[in-house]
Amino acid sequence: MNATQVIIRPVVSEKSYVLAAADKYTFRVHANAHKVQIRQAIEELFEVKVVNVHTMSVKSKPKRRGVTAGRSRSWKKAVVQVRPGDSIPIFQGLQGLEES
């Protein structure tokens, strides 16, 4: 599995904005990826030094649209802490919105 398959997309939420200020970035990752693969993928894609990786499985939730019932997908999330002074550029524009 290469780096672009491991990291699916960044998670955009209020909590991820707060964590980005503390050099912690949140990503949606492949369900079978482990911490070492996630660390290597982040370091390769964004050229930063990863200090710590926390992973968690986000469970599916029941959803309804009229009489049709179903469930959302379950997925895996990773919170990656980078070395102080390093930053991931895709989150830079988001922090500017937070201050407004």
* pTM for the whole structure: 0.84
Q: What is the pLDDT of residue 1?
A: 87
How many angstroms separate the CA atoms of 89 and 54, rounded?
20
Reading the block at residue 50, the tokens are: 């990863």
3-state secondary structure of 43: helix
- What is the per-residue pLDDT across 34-75, written as a single tens digit (0 to 9) for each? 999 999 999 999 999 999 999 999 999 999 999 999 999 999
SS3 66: coil
Q: What integer pLDDT is reported at residue 83 of this predicted model?
A: 95
- Secondary-structure class of domain 3-94 per CATH: alpha beta
**What is the Cα–Cα distance from 29 to 49, expressed in whole angstroms?**
18
Band of pLDDT at residue 100, cut at 50, 70 and 90: very low
